């Protein structure tokens, strides 16, 4: 486990480096990962726009900010992501804002498809769902906890939708995006700090 973690951390990017890579993908008309389909390229372009907006508008709520500023240890927050992932576009800007308010958090991002060994250690019900945040004690390299791929209310929204409609479709995706917009990153913030307290 430690060697997999250390290799992944060594290959990781800062949030700004990740954002720069996505902007470059958009300029070049491509996406992260092996699937270079028009659909994934379109999602990358859409997500770049979403992240740009969220970087400007997301705020860390006061009680979460206070908890983050009082963390007693140094942590690496390592996120598995891909540029085409709609949930990642909604969640990563929130996590970045959280990391920015604390001197003890080193936020790092890696691509899922390039780090299969690590992804396989953090499957969600057997699937390689992203984004996945792994919180690591910087000194001991012990895993404190993980979060993702979605906050609980967003996950429940899709479960309920599937019960009513039988499967997830474009309307479900629109409903999910509306939920993220209305929530303003609050559920994400609360669920992540709950891993510490």
pLDDT in tens, 16-48: 999 999 999 999 999 999 899 999 999 999 999
Q: Is residue 168 part of a domain?
A: no
- Alpha carbon 14 to its chain's center: 13
Quick one: pLDDT band at residue 197, thresholds 50, 70, 90?
confident
Number of domains making up the chain: 1
pLDDT of residue 2: 84
Question: Whole-model pTM?
Answer: 0.95
Q: Is residue 19 part of a domain?
A: yes
Q: Are 43 and 86 in contact (CB under 8 A)?
A: yes
Mean pLDDT rounded to a whole number for the chain: 96
Pull the structure tokens for residue 48.
Answer: 């770049």
**Which domain CATH number covers 27?**
3.40.30.10
Domain that holds residue 144: 2-149
């Amino acid at each position: 486990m430690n060697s997999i973690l250390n290799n992944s951390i060594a290959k990781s990017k800062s949030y700004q480096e990740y954002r720069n890579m996505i902007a470059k993908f958009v300029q070049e008309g491509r996406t992260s990962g092996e699937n270079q389909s028009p659909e994934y390229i379109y999602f990358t372009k859409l997500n770049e726009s979403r992240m740009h907006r969220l970087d400007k508008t997301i705020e860390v709520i006061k009680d979460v900010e206070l908890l983050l500023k009082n963390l007693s240890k140094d942590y690496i927050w390592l996120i598995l992501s891909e540029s085409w992932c709609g949930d990642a576009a909604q969640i990563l800007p929130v996590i970045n804002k959280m990391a920015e308010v604390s001197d003890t958090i080193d936020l790092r991002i890696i691509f899922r498809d390039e780090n299969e060994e690590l992804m396989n250690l953090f499957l969600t019900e057997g699937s390689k769902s992203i984004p996945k945040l792994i919180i690591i004690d910087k000194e001991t390299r012990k895993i404190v906890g993980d979060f993702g791929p979605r906050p609980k209310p967003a996950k429940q929204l899709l479960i309920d939708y599937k019960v009513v409609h039988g499967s997830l479709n474009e309307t479900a995706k629109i409903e999910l995006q509306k939920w993220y917009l209305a929530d303003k990153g609050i559920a994400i913030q609360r669920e992540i700090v709950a891993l510490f307290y």
